[in-house]
Amino acid sequence: MPSAAVEQSASDQMPVTVPSVSQFVWRELRLLVVLGALSFGAALCVRYGLHYPIPLTDMSVPRRMRQALRYTALLGPVLLLIRLLRQRLALRGADGRPVPGRAGWSLALAALRQDALAARFALVVSTVLVMAGLFSVFALWKASIPVLAPWRWDPMLVAVERALHGGVLPQDVTRSWFGPRATVVLDDLYSLWLRLVALFVVWQSLRAPAPGRMRALLALALTYTLLGNVGGMLLSSGGPVYYDRLVGESGPYAAQAAYLAAIPGLHATAMQRSIWDWVQSGTYVPFATISAMPSMHVGVTTVMALACRERNRWFGVAGWLYVCLILLGSVHLNWHYAIDGYVAIVGVLAVWWFSGWLVRRYA
């Protein structure tokens, strides 16, 4: 059978308006890739150009992102292989018979490169890979805070906290609101955040290409970069739970610490002890570093709430309710000053607007 006839038959089955997979994926992810390259490049300069001992060689993918990455890495190639086999079986020559041998596989691969569904599969896998890399860089910069900007803002933040709340510390108020059982529930909801972040990344990765998808992922990445990394350096602080140990003097949060210590099985108190041990021993665990201002728990939850609101009003209501619970939990569990959360919410609203502008301008 003449090859021209085979090519003509195959071309009749391939949608010519869909760009190649690589072009499609690059178009959707280029803003994230550029952000990651700039952030990692800055880390290389700080480590090897300025010779600050940031833990660059210890950098690793956070556990939650490894889990999301495993699921996607296993699922994506399987779906692509199924699609390739379907393309191969569907190919017919000019006489209506299957295209034999290597020519058939070559045409199937060519068809796959122009297939919209295959491009979606590739985009899902690539998105999770890129986000896993970005989270690794975010964690590296967070772990660099003790090296580049040791904690020094806590006394000032406590003074602002008192002034903003009429001389009262929010922990003294929440202690009257939440008894031991309610504290356990709040602690569970706060711990759930880690899983929800991974699920949020997977959800956005699985969404159809659209400005809303790009905006949500970019806002998440910029929140970590601008608020978590840059903001964490500029306003370096340890938070209520570590106040005494970092400032070197007795702080006003001993009553809250004693209250929480009397409640058995709290995830927060166990994690707070572990983080202090890791910091003291110099053990690198992604994101297990002391950094209070601004609150990334509140900031990332705000990104999720905004993305949910863009999809559905009731999703948005649930998202903002969770923002309020995370804000309360961050204070009551002694992780953060309340102003850490306020700054995070305001900062994310600015990042959300900026992300939308970037998507409209460059995507």
For the stretch 219-276, pLDDT in tens is: 999 999 999 999 999 999 999 999 999 988 878 999 999 999 999 999 999 999 999 9
| Helix or strand (DSSP H, E) at 8 | helix 3-13
In a shared domain, residues 103 and 156:
no
User: Encoding tokens for residue 59?
Assistant: 């950098």
Number of domains in the chain: 2
Question: 298 pLDDT exceeds 60?
Answer: yes
Question: What is the DSSP-derived secondary structure letter of residue 62?
Answer: -
Q: How confident is the model at residue 2 (pLDDT cuts 50, 70, 90)?
A: very low
In a shared domain, residues 30 and 109:
yes
* pLDDT score for 12: 39
Nearest Cα neighbor of 175 from 237, 240, 271 is: 240
Question: 14 pLDDT exceeds 50?
Answer: no
Give the mean model confidence (pLDDT) for residues 164-173: 94
* pLDDT score for 239: 93
* pLDDT score for 114: 58
In a shared domain, residues 190 and 100:
no
Lowest-confidence pick of 49-63, 106-120, 224-238, 292-306: 106-120
Give the mean model confidence (pLDDT) for residues 282-309: 92
Sequence-distant (≥ 6) Cβ neighbours of residue 363 within 8 angstroms: 27, 28, 30, 31, 211, 214
Sequence-distant (≥ 6) Cβ neighbours of residue 11 within 8 angstroms: none
Decide: 231 and 142 in contact? Cβ < 8 Å: no
Q: How confident is the model at residue 64 (pLDDT cuts 50, 70, 90)?
A: low
Give the mean model confidence (pLDDT) for residues 54-79: 74
Domain final residue, candidates 125, 143, 161: 143
Domain final residue, candidates 92, 124, 143: 143
Give the mean model confidence (pLDDT) for residues 38-49: 95
Question: 3 pLDDT exceeds 80?
Answer: no
Decide: 247 and 154 in contact? Cβ < 8 Å: yes
In a shared domain, residues 163 and 58:
no
CA 286/CA 214 separation, integer angstroms: 25
* pLDDT score for 251: 81
In a shared domain, residues 105 and 213:
no
Average pLDDT, the chain: 85
* pLDDT score for 97: 64
Decide: 326 and 333 in contact? Cβ < 8 Å: no
- 178 vs 158, 166, 211, CA distance in Å? 22, 21, 41
Domain final residue, candidates 98, 122, 143: 143
CA 337/CA 158 separation, integer angstroms: 8
Domain that holds residue 355: 149-363
Give the mean model confidence (pLDDT) for residues 40-44: 95
SS3 for 263? coil
In a shared domain, residues 14 and 77:
yes
What percentage of the chain exceeds 70 in pLDDT? 82
CA 206/CA 342 separation, integer angstroms: 31
CA 110/CA 100 separation, integer angstroms: 15
In a shared domain, residues 252 and 356:
yes
Q: What are phi and psi of 98, to 5 degrees?
A: -60, 145
In a shared domain, residues 137 and 154:
no
